[in-house]
Amino acid sequence: MLLPKEDKFFDLFDRQAENLVHASEFYRKCISESTITPENVREMHEFEHYGDELTHTIINTLNETFITPFDREDILSLANRMDDIVDNLYLLMNRFHLYSISKPTEYSKKLADTIDHSTRALQKTVATLRSNKHMKDTYRHCVEINRLENEGDVLRDEAISNLFANEKDPIVVIKQKELYEIAESTTDFCEHVANLVESILVKNN
């Protein structure tokens, strides 16, 4: 055992954050290139599955570790809340597939960009957990994630407004509206994790 115990958790959270960034990059690519194929849905499922593995590793590590860098229940919450994000990306990708939407709209592309920016800002936020000496950086990244969540809200509202104005088929309205809402909720989940990181650092300040 060369690494101090604390580093194990930070490494695992960083890997969760990295998996998130990879998943959102992949999602953005599939949306922008209109390649929501069964193979790509399966590939997104791999990101979701790897997220589950990391979460279980964090729980097992917690059960074997006597001294933790911050409260045990916060470690558990952070692992579960980060896992929610990749779960939601898989749900979203799968929903495109189940709804047979092969050509995502411009709004879906813009939302995919916002999601991608949000997971990247989240990765930076999670990286600040290793020390409470960079609270200003944490706070700055959290403000950015909050801004992206607002951007997601505005995009979703514009998209839904446009949908009701131009689409007359109620079945298509139901499908597209839900895809916009699930996409936007990914930025909400990123904000929840950012708030949690902020809360952990505030508590341990």
- Residues near a second copy (CB under 8 A): 59, 62-63, 71-73, 76-77, 80, 91, 94-95, 98-99, 135, 139, 153, 157, 160-161, 164, 168, 170-171, 173-175, 177, 195, 198-200, 202-203, 205
Closest CB to a second copy among residues 21, 41: 41
Helix, strand, coil share of the chain (percent; to 5): 85, 0, 15
Closest CB to a second copy among residues 35, 59: 59
Residues 173/104, Cβ–Cβ less than 8 Å: no
Looking only at Cα atoms, what is the longest distance across the chain?
64
Q: How far is the CB of 191 from a second copy (least distance, A)?
A: 9
Distance spanning both ends of the chain, measured CA to CA: 28
Give the whole-angstrom CA distance, residue 51 versus residue 78: 13
Q: How far is the CB of 25 from a second copy (least distance, A)?
A: 24
Closest CB to a second copy among residues 12, 116: 12
Strands (E) located in the chain = none
The structure tokens 């949306």 sit at 31
Give the whole-angstrom CA distance, residue 150 versus residue 188: 9
Token pair of 13, please?
């959270």
Q: How far is the CB of 14 from a second copy (least distance, A)?
A: 21
Closest CB to a second copy among residues 9, 116: 9
Q: How far is the CB of 149 from a second copy (least distance, A)?
A: 10
Closest CB to a second copy among residues 50, 99: 99
Q: How far is the CB of 6 from a second copy (least distance, A)?
A: 17
> Which residues, at least 6 apart from 26, have a Cβ–Cβ distance to it below 8 Å?
40, 43, 44, 47
> What is the distance, to the nearest Å, from the Cα of residue 143 to the centroid of all Cα atoms in its chain?
16
Closest CB to a second copy among residues 35, 199: 199
Q: How far is the CB of 2 from a second copy (least distance, A)?
A: 25
Token pair of 198, please?
């902020």
